[in-house]
Structure 1
Amino acid sequence: MRLLRSLAGLQLLSETEPGVLRPTAAGDFLRTGMADSMAAMARMFTDPVMLRGWDLLDESVRTGETTFDTVSGSDFFGRLKEHPAMSAAFNEAMSPGHPADRRAAGSGPWRTSPPCARRAASPSGA
């Protein structure tokens, strides 16, 4: 239940009554099988190797070199070739008509940031 309440704190779930949680509009974007699902994008960018690359961000900024090769043992597309699940998530996330394409074009419900992003960007945190 603690994890679910954490997701509610991120406004991905809403506690409609004690112990009952439902996805919010933002949480719906992480559901699979939905027309506007961002689940593949989330899976791809939360792959452990993708996350480890961020640990070396300071080195990348200092040197101008990519750190992905260091943490994965191959370049990005080599990694995709070796890991079919990550490749499938990448292909789905980058496919034409994906929600990210519409967001970049400024259409769809993402013209405004979700409340949790607005709160994080606010100096007061409110």
Structure 2
Amino acid sequence: MIRDICRDEVFLAQKAEPATPDDRSAAADLLETLEHHRDSCVGMAANMIGVNKRIIAFDNEGARMVMFNPEIIKKSGPYDTVEGCLSLSGTRPARRWQSIKVRWQNEHFQVRLKTFTGWTAQIIQHELDHCEGIII
């Protein structure tokens, strides 16, 4: 189901709760909503659709990907950039890392590890800020 985009900064500033297998439908909604906004958005966190759970969905080099309970466990190559967000107006400065190693759970709640670089790494970091309640 395509959900409305949450713009409530008080809600967006809350740290997300851990996701569970019961949150798979929220992840499906997140993917559908991301696809609906594909012309203006490359990633979303669950709080952007009003669900305070640690779930992100993003464009991974042309394929949509969902992560449950993602966390960065290693990072390198800091740089400064400017980002926009569907939940917020305008753009804001952000500090990002060129390379990140992420641990997450897939849709079967199996633990996965992978290193992401470049644009994909930047998208993931933006969405993880959402999970932490950080408003860029």
The structure whose residues are more often helix, as a share, is: 1
How does the TM-score come out when normalised to structure 1?
Answer: 0.23
Larger radius of gyration: 1
How does the TM-score come out when normalised to structure 2?
Answer: 0.22
The structure whose residues are more often strand, as a share, is: 2
Indicate the structure whose relative CO is greater, using CA pairs within 8 Å and at least 6 residues apart: 2
